[in-house]
Structure 1
């Protein structure tokens, strides 16, 4: 609506038609179905991603307390706490947990939004961008956590580690291929120059 408003004569914004509708009211009534479809799509996307994010939170929280190799019975410290791969495991686990938590919070913010016209301009797209970005990051670091745990368990046997690491990259790559174009499109439409060419001749 703001894009259309930017190219019309400002004096026409408050001019009523034969039905007594000003330009803003006419635009809203003509695009009510578009607003409803946008709300349904946002809710469906947020719901699906919230489920994925919640599963990652559960997995990463559990993994933090079931470290590979177990604990030393006398001291209670992890057996492999001095290995570099164990440090990678803990750090990536924490990052995955925090990023997935952020993602879930963003998607919950979308689900609880009022879905007014102005929310679709900045608020909702920004939450979706942050939610999808942090979800992707949490999936990537979850795979790193898995690979680090594998390295600890197999004690650096590359003939086992390398194939599994390559396979672990598949879900991350698929998610990026599916969601990255959507992220770019949302970002450009939200923070880009707009749907109209800025050199477009005004209507007044």
Structure 2
């Protein structure tokens, strides 16, 4: 570490605040407004505090300023309002998504009980041998299980403690998995609905009805993905962005090292092949030159 950085880390202001005290202050509103939600804002504030905490010596964490406050006390006091805003935003969003997941679970459970078609004499559905019916059964089951999983995940978001450190990994990870499960259940619901329509109209040459239904089924998926994907992307890159970048960097370094080793091996092999090919060409050229040139003894005999 350079001398300027050490001097900056060791310096204090008039109120005896070290650099960790200053990192615990709330960021300006102009900077916070660039981040989409209060939960991600709190996560960014906590990440910034953790990064500064890694740079300072351990005894700086317990130093007190002129008011008798440690850096953690300053951070908690400055971010009380932001914690409440993030908690309210997460709970409102989790409540809305859990209601949507409960509605999907109700629909697919009713569809599983009342399967399409009639029943045969042995109690089996009449369409149980058709591939579209199997697709309906599998997609309906996936939709039911994923929607119930989404409800459980969003309930865990609602019942979280919502301390400062919960905004770092715990609550955002649960929220992301809940969104993924909800999107999976909605997709499986649309697949089950389309397979049911195919069972009804597939053999009646009503292909225009099938195309219309398939196009209509893609509309809610497109709307949900286009409106909720930015939120999922922001949570993903805000929570696991540094880890993802490090993984990508390691993969690229590993690939470059393997390519470099392969290039060295292939270079030796190519040089050997080129040298063998050149030697063979030279031998062939010498043999051909000798066969084309008449011997001197024959010329003397002719004369």
Tell me the TM-score normalised to structure 1 length.
0.90
Structure 2 gaps of 5+ residues are 1-45, 244-303
Aligned residue for 1:184? Answer: 233
Aligned residue for 2:119? Answer: 71
Moved over 6 A (4+): none
Report Cα offsets for 1:127-182 as digits up to 9, x if no partner.
00100001001001100000000001113432110111001100000000011111
1:130 to 177, 183, 193: 177
Shift of 1:192: 1.4
Q: Aligned pair 1:19/2:67, yes or no?
A: yes
1:42-191 equivalences in 2 (<5 Å): 42-72=90-120, 74-156=121-203, 157-191=206-240
The structure with the larger Rg is 2
Aligned residue for 1:6? Answer: 51
Q: Which has the higher helix share?
A: 2
Tell me the TM-score normalised to structure 2 length.
0.62
- CA distance in 1 between counterparts of 2:143 and 2:84 reads 34
User: RMSD across aligned C-alpha pairs, in angstroms?
Assistant: 1.3
After superposing the two structures, state which structure 1 stretch, 4-13 or 51-60, moved more.
4-13
1:36 to 81, 84, 95: 84
- CA distance in 1 between counterparts of 2:139 and 2:200 reads 17
- CA distance in 1 between counterparts of 2:177 and 2:232 reads 9
* Bigger relative contact order, structure 1 or 2 (CA pairs below 8 A, ≥6 apart): 1
